[in-house]
A and B are shown apart, each in its own frame.
Chain A
Amino acid sequence: MTLTDKSNYGKELDRLLARVQKPARYSGGEWNSVSKDWEGTEIKIAFAFPDVYEVGMSHLGLQILYNTVNRRTDTLMERVFAPWGDMEDLLRQSRIPLLSLESQRPLGDFDILAFTLQYEMSFTNILNILDLAGIPLRSSDRLSGFPLVIAGGPCAFNPEPMAEFIDVFAIGEGEELFHDIINVYKSVRSRGKDQLLRELAMIQGIYVPGLYQVSYNSDGSVLEVSPREGAPVRVSKRVVQDYDRVTFPENPIVPNTSVVHDRIMLEVLRGCTRGCRFCQAGALYRPVREKSPETLIRQAELLVKNTGYDEISLTSLSSADYTGIGPLVRGLLDSMDNLGVGVSLPSLRVDAFSVDLARELQRVRRSSLTFAPEAGTQRLRDVINKGVTEKDLIEAVSAAFGAGWQAVKLYFMIGLPTETREDLDGIASLAGLVLKKGEELRVKRGRLKVTVSVSSFVPKSHTPFQWEPQNTIEELREKQMYLKSLIRDKRISLKWHDPEVSFLEGVIARGDRRLSATLEKAWKLGCRFDGWSECFNFRKWMTAFGDTGMDPRWYAHRRYQYDDRLPWGHVEAGVSRKFLVREHKKAMEASSTPDCRAGRCPGCGVCTDMEVKPEISGGGGCDPLQDQIF
């Protein structure tokens, strides 16, 4: 059997598919999937999503890039997902490399292998995918004859822990950047990997970690990151030129098996102006840009026709913030209702307006509505700049109960900077208030339910809290137990996240390049799918830290000084350090910063740095401050 004989792999794969759970994860052949002529297409790219099919196919970014790249006649993009344990075992036993879904080719046959970094806890899956493809893990071990390994997505904004494995990081929005990468690849690939990397490093938004030397202080902190061979000192993220007109997948792949988000994902806006100080997405996706209602209606109609889905989800970080969301929703319902197509919002703001909107949209009475007050007291909500008051929450849940909902879910975070006992007490008392409101509004006894879901704060790069220490596992556990002792009513159910997972997220989210060795060790010890509770093995992770001589607590619990050189300091999200410092100081004073939609520019620096402006449909918007005012 030769390694490139496709028909052989089809047959071999068939035998494995007869023996795995959910074979549709690996078989491909979906509506709108693209199978191009292999020999006749110059550049071949595999897009690798480091989680199972059902998760990866729910990711809009995959659909966007698949569409963007496959529009080119000179390039093809195929997909691959992390195989679940049963499939991994079979692949290894049968000595079959991991194959792409479309043409069932080994990943090693592609020119470029592109990963998306959505979540720190999927990093071991990336190493596993490389290994299953027979591709050396480390960039320095891949001289010639291997695909160029690139990675993008939110976690690329602190690329350092993956720096040893990835040849090229793509920072920021990919719709235009991907074309630049392909164009340079086409013209330079014949001149060898080193030359290719040097040329790629000249593109705005491209970070080639191998061209940067990192030196450390004696206490282990970063002293300096020095570029060589002309690589830029700082890498700035990419933002698309014209968001309203950027290519959007109007014929997305429709999976044959049910996936997490099994509906049309219509992106109505990008970015978020609310400025919650813990939120990394809010920083990375600035500035806020909205698509015009005309574009959205046109795209919605095409999407329904091209997919056959019966539901459109208006996705973004905060869709209820879309200017004219009411008219948009009504317009969509008018044009879609006779087709039996529904419209939904993935997340709600904490206010009565959002609930009214949700009521208008619902066709099937969903069991519960979810709100995220995030913190239990007004003081702490001001610290994190979550512009929500108790009054907002009570109005929102009153509207929900009044409209017939019987269950409400509340999202909170523990371990936030400056948190005290009082803030935890506040979570319990807010939950109690919501319950009481349900009683008052005569929600049926036995049906009334409040779910309190408590996650643990993880400090993230590029946010005002990037300098803050994370609570220890013990502190988080103690807080969870304290909350449990406060919440005694059976109608309130309390859920929390595993603090060991949050701890590792925190370590990796603010990690440096020396963690590459730890990640490799953890993978070698068998860590996979670390975001899945049935797969997560904390002990193996701690062994990996020990064996590589790293202290994870130092990464998670240290407090950085404003002047410290941060491991991700050479990657720029456009939000200025000055702004982050000011926001951090304001947080410590529990002072809030208004939304830039309100018309006053808080001076985050994105618009001036990126030469962009917020695009708010119907004008509105605000003029970015040319000089930051302090």
Chain B
Amino acid sequence: MTRYRIRYSKEGAARFISHLDMVRTFERVVRRASLPVSLSEGFNPHPKFGFGFPLPVGMAGLNEYVDLMLDSAMEPIQIVSSLEKAVPPGLRVTGACQVEQGSPALMAQVERSVYLVRAARAELPGEEELKKCMEDMMGAQEIIINRRKKDGRHVPFDIRPGLLAFTLKEEVAGVVIEMELITSSSLNVRPDEVIDAISERCGLLAGCHLDFIRTRITGRGGEDLFK
């Protein structure tokens, strides 16, 4: 068995494929691609693969990963071209590389994610105000938000330790917030929680329609997961 890491992007209509549905979709993709994919043991065998950190429904991802086990070794470029022909619109396979067989599961290696938050210029508050608000937040000791639990309760939660970087970038279409957050199993901060904190602390962005894009996923200390 050889393990490969597949890099892909998820945009357009594909943004609305939930994580659970991505698993199902990817099973069909590998079958359509006729790759020599390894099957799990048991009565009802499934192709063996494992995704990275789930992407929320509706969010685009530019550099997402999934690890795939093949029974026989293949050239990464061949894997990419086979998969590329089998993915539904909105998904694109942009790379593949071999990964050491015994290394931890992809999910366990992910530590950080970089997000872009985009709004139409007309809806943005003054850039200066936003910049100041973000600087304040980076300087704060703690940033408490109300995190919604699965049972519907809200509990106070400090997102500051998970907020690594926070910048404002200018684009032709408008202003973009870029943030690097901890997204690991022990600490996980979501970009919409950071936006909620901005609204709450500074009264900005509330009610704006924002597009979230995940641009990068990295490992411990920002280590590149794709080599």
Within 8 A of B (CB), among A191-212: none
Out of A15, A24, A28, A305, name the residue touching B32 (CB < 8 Å).
A305
Of chain A, the residue at the smallest CB distance from B13 is A29
A340 within 8 A of B: yes
Are A340's CB and B45's CB within 8 A? yes
Chain A interfacial positions (CB closer than 8 Å to B):
14-15, 17-18, 23-24, 27-31, 33, 35, 254, 256-258, 262, 304-310, 339-340, 342, 363-365
Instruction: Say whether, besides A24-B17, A256-B17, A308-B31, A30 and B57 are in contact (CB < 8 Å).
Output: no
Complex contacts, A257 vs chain B, CB 8 Å:
16-18, 21
Q: A24-B21, A29-B88, A307-B32 are in contact. List 15 more A-B contacts (CB 8 A).
A: A23-B58, A27-B13, A29-B12, A31-B28, A31-B32, A256-B16, A256-B21, A256-B88, A257-B17, A257-B21, A262-B24, A304-B31, A305-B32, A364-B43, A364-B44
Measured CB to CB, the closest approach of chain B to A197, in angstroms, equals 37
- The reply to whether A24 and B43 form a contact with Cβ atoms under 8 Å apart is no
For the complex of A and B, list the 7 residue pairs with the smallest distance between their C-beta atoms, beginning with the closest. Answer: A29-B13, A308-B28, A308-B31, A308-B32, A31-B88, A27-B16, A23-B16
With contacts A24-B17, A29-B89, A363-B44 taken as known, whether A256 is within 8 angstroms of B25 at the C-beta atoms is yes
Q: Give the chain B neighbours of A30 by CB distance below 8 A.
A: 13, 88-89
Closest to B15 in A: A27
Q: How far is the CA of A308 from the CA of B29 in the complex (A)?
A: 6
11 contacts between A and B (CB under 8 A): A23-B58, A24-B18, A254-B28, A256-B14, A256-B21, A256-B88, A257-B17, A257-B21, A258-B24, A305-B32, A310-B27
Q: Are B43 and A363 in contact (CB under 8 A)?
A: yes
Size of the chain B interface, CB-CB below 8 angstroms = 30
In the assembled complex, the Cα of A392 lies from the Cα of B45 at a distance in Å of: 35
Contact of B148 with A by CB under 8 A: no
CA–CA, A33 to B25, complex, Å?
15
For the complex, what is the distance from the CA of A271 to the CA of B24, rounded to whole Å?
33
B16: which A residues are within 8 A, CB to CB? 17, 23-24, 27, 256-257
User: Chain A: interface secondary structure?
Assistant: loop
> In whole angstroms, how far apart are the Cα atoms of A231 and B60 in the complex?
55
Q: Are B209 and A307 in contact (CB under 8 A)?
A: no
Q: Is B90 an interface residue (CB 8 A)?
A: yes
Contacts of B211 in A (CB 8 A): 14
Closest chain B residue, CB of each to CB of A364: B44
Does B1 belong to the interface (CB within 8 Å)? no
B38 CB to closest chain A CB (Å) equals 11
Assess the B88–A15 pair: CB atoms within 8 A: no
Residues of chain A with a CB closer than 8 A to B39's CB:
340
B174 to chain A: closest CB distance in Å?
Answer: 13
A577–B25 alpha-carbon span in the complex (Å)? 50
The 0/1 profile, CB within 8 Å of A marked 1, for residues 164-180 of chain B is: 00000000000000000
Closest to B11 in A: A29
Contact B88 A254 (CB under 8 A): yes
Complex-state Cα separation, A31 to B57, whole angstroms: 18
Indicate if the CB atoms of B88 and A23 lie closer than 8 Å.
no
Residues in chain A near residue B29, CB distance under 8 A:
308
The CA of A256 and the CA of B19, in the complex, are separated in Å by 11
Question: Is A309 a contact of B13 with CB atoms below 8 Å?
Answer: no
Provide the residues of chain A in CB contact with B58, threshold 8 Å.
17-18, 23
Q: A309 — which chain B residues lie within 8 A by C-beta?
A: 28, 31
